[in-house]
Structure 1
Amino acid sequence: MLVAVGVIVLAGRLVLFPIDGFRYEAGLAGTPGRFTAAQCHTYGSGRGSRRVCTGTFAPANGGPADPAARITNARVHVGRPTTLRRKPDGGYAQPGAANAALDLAGVSGIVSLAALALLVLCVMPRRVRIEADVPLRSNPRPWGTLIPVLLGVFAGFLALAALCGVAAVLLALGQAFFG
């Protein structure tokens, strides 16, 4: 029982990260505005590289501009204004359907893995009796009524994670080819 509570708490904490990102990338949170990059530099090479752009962020509501705005790994071009969202911590997020779909895939994947872990806990017998004339299926199964529910949650959220992942890839490819 304690392990099941631990799985639920851990999944609840992990799900907060992609949900927070989703809010900004879907344009539901943060201060909307336009960012104009003055310069961009790439640090490192290969998969470990990151592109950092600095410039000016002007809020859409006319508040004070941030002339020292800095964003990492965003699709921005020097001198061309781009829509961003300012986070309360001073960071910036670039809204977009591909990033939002990727965050939804992360949420769905975490829920699916948590359901799988709980499913494994449910099918594990507390003790196993092995006797000559007693079949193994006669061993007691704790939480037996939860098994079909957890199996449905696992399969449903796994399918949703895969669907959101494919959507994120297709949206990113479409954005790369069509701007």
Structure 2
Amino acid sequence: MQLLEHRPPLRVGYNASVLAVAGAAAGAALAPLDGSSATRIVAQVAVCAFVHYTVNVMLISVVVGASVRKSVLGVARSSFSVTILPFALMASAALILVVLWERSPLLSGALVGPLLAIALYQRSTFRELRAMRLALTDPLTGLGNHRAFHDRLERELADSLEQGYPFSLCLVDIDDFKAINDSYGHPGGDKVL
């Protein structure tokens, strides 16, 4: 799916690796929990979901934290607040799948509706996030607009004061930028920006 959305191959590879590591960690955590009683099944799904989710969020937070120069725990905390609901829905669907599968694999088809609802919820959330990003950036260059500049400036100033590090702001005024657009076209001007 990410390749269809034209995501960079390195990002797609990292995301796939994160899912593989999270899945392996969840499987390792699940191994000691043996048995098939109802309580045991709930415990197995809960442990598996918790480990998978935690490893996934932490590994993604490491990369995001490094790229935006924020603490990994701060990024993880923010991510937890945004992603916990859809992941809890998926964990409950996984529990239902296990119960249905043990009864008869054909019954797992009953999950099509709930899984479709979860997918629609996630797509709606993704579109909201994309709309917020578009409201703060220029669609051609991907650079922040006036509103994004002031929001970021306010956050950086607050972080600087809170954490006690110096803060600098560098403004660049490009004279006669129209000449660049006229000479190299708007795509050339966008690359310069």
**Fold shared per TM-score above 0.5:** no
TM-score range with shorter-chain normalisation? 0.3 to 0.5
Q: Which protein, 1 or 2, shows the higher relative CO under an 8 Å CA cutoff with sep ≥ 6?
A: 1
Using structure 2 for the length normalisation, give the TM-score: 0.32
Q: Please state which structure has a larger fraction of its residues in strand.
A: 1
Q: Please state which structure has a larger fraction of its residues in helix.
A: 2
Using structure 1 for the length normalisation, give the TM-score: 0.34
